[in-house]
Amino acid sequence: MSSEIPAGPAPGTVASTDAGAGTDTVAGTVAGTVAILGRPNVGKSTLLNRIVGEKLAIVSPKPQTTRNRIVGVWNGAGGQIVFVDTPGVHAGKKGLGRFMQGEALGTIADVDAVLLVVDVYQEGPGDAERKILSELRAADKRAVLAINKVDKAKDKTTLLPLLTAWQPLFPFAALVPISATGGTNVAGVVTELCRLLPARPPLYGPDMLTDRTERFLAAELVREQLFLKLRQELPYAVAVKIDSWEERPRGDVVIAATILVERESQKAIVVGKGGAMIREVGTAARGEITDRLGRPAHLKLEVRVAPDWTTSPEILEELGYRP
């Protein structure tokens, strides 16, 4: 995608710029951090990947795919935005759920601005959005509202009433209908966010894309394939841990990873009949990891039962889910 920031409309209006269009830029050079917040499955990770032009956050149709904060750095002619993709805000009660809520809402205090993402099917705020808006007011943060999936709205005349319904709920700097999948108005969102950031030098160098390690990204790509291949059969209580990472002289890498589940019945689902499912997951994940690393990857997977790992402080700590 283009690295230019297209000229957007005046603050507070509805953007109508297509992604990649235009050459005018926001005056001056700005830099800052922006948290992407919203309920599960509104397209936050898809939007992050679209903006930075790389697949950093895994995506699946299943809610709560994102568990950790994912940082993605966008560099353009008008400045730099460090995006923080967060787990979907929901009523998580277990140790893992509490961790995810902390990852999402705890980000607000640390960033310069917030991008709240909702989808076109929402008639108004639910518990998740009300909680986010409450936290925004308490932290005195500025925000842009992106109404996603407009490409799926059969009746485009419903957009105006939807924008009208959201506008009085918070003093949003702008309300922008977008399609994260198709790219519609994504550049307009970037323009509006740049208007909210301070004038200062970039926070990271021009080659910085994410603060996540290759090991973390590889584990996430394995977990993504579990979500995609198993669909509704996938147990929510599944995690992936990288056990070893061997860089070989010829340039390839050998990765060994463990898939954790909570019960034997869940292990049987992941392994599949005759090991067919785990082989299919491994093959697909290996291809994704190879693409991500830019060099050949070999992947060895095993499945282990760790009873009630989602409530175990020790295992959550080991996996990087620190409540």
pLDDT tens by residue, the chain, 323 residues: 333 333 333 333 333 333 333 323 344 589 999 999 998 889 999 999 999 999 888 787 666 666 667 889 999 988 999 999 887 775 555 556 566 666 667 788 889 999 999 988 877 788 889 999 999 999 999 999 999 999 887 777 778 888 888 889 999 999 999 999 999 999 999 999 999 999 999 999 988 999 889 999 999 999 999 988 886 666 577 899 999 999 999 999 999 999 999 999 999 999 999 999 999 999 999 999 999 999 999 999 999 999 988 888 888 888 877 65
Q: Is the dihedral of CA 27, 29, 35, 36 positive or negative?
A: positive
Query: Domain extents for the chain?
Result: 30-194, 214-319
What is the pLDDT, as a whole number, of residue 64?
62
72 strand-pairing partners: 83
CA–CA separation, 58 vs 277, rounded Å? 20
For residue 199, the model assigns a pLDDT of 95
Angle at 138 between CA 179 and CA 135, to 5 degrees: 40
Alpha-carbon span 5 to 19, nearest angstrom? 9
Return the CATH number of the domain spanning residue range 30-194.
Answer: 3.40.50.300
Class of domain 214-319: alpha beta
d(CA 128, CA 117): 11
Model pLDDT, residue 33: 95
pLDDT at 320: 77
Give me the pLDDT at residue 104, please: 67
Tokens of 67: 């568990």
Return the structure tokens found at 86.
Answer: 């967060």
Distance CA 1, CA 259 (A): 34
Two tokens, residue 105: 């809402």
Report how far residue 247's alpha carbon sits from residue 199's, in angstroms, rounded to the nearest whole number: 41
What pLDDT does 18 receive? Answer: 36
Query: Which stretch of DSSP H or E encloses residue 302?
Result: strand 297-305
Sheet containing 297-305, strands listed edge to edge, beginning at the edge strand earlier in sequence = 239-247, 253-261, 297-305
> What is the C-alpha separation between 163 and 145, in angstroms, rounded?
9
**Which amino acid is it at 238?**
V
pLDDT of residue 162: 84
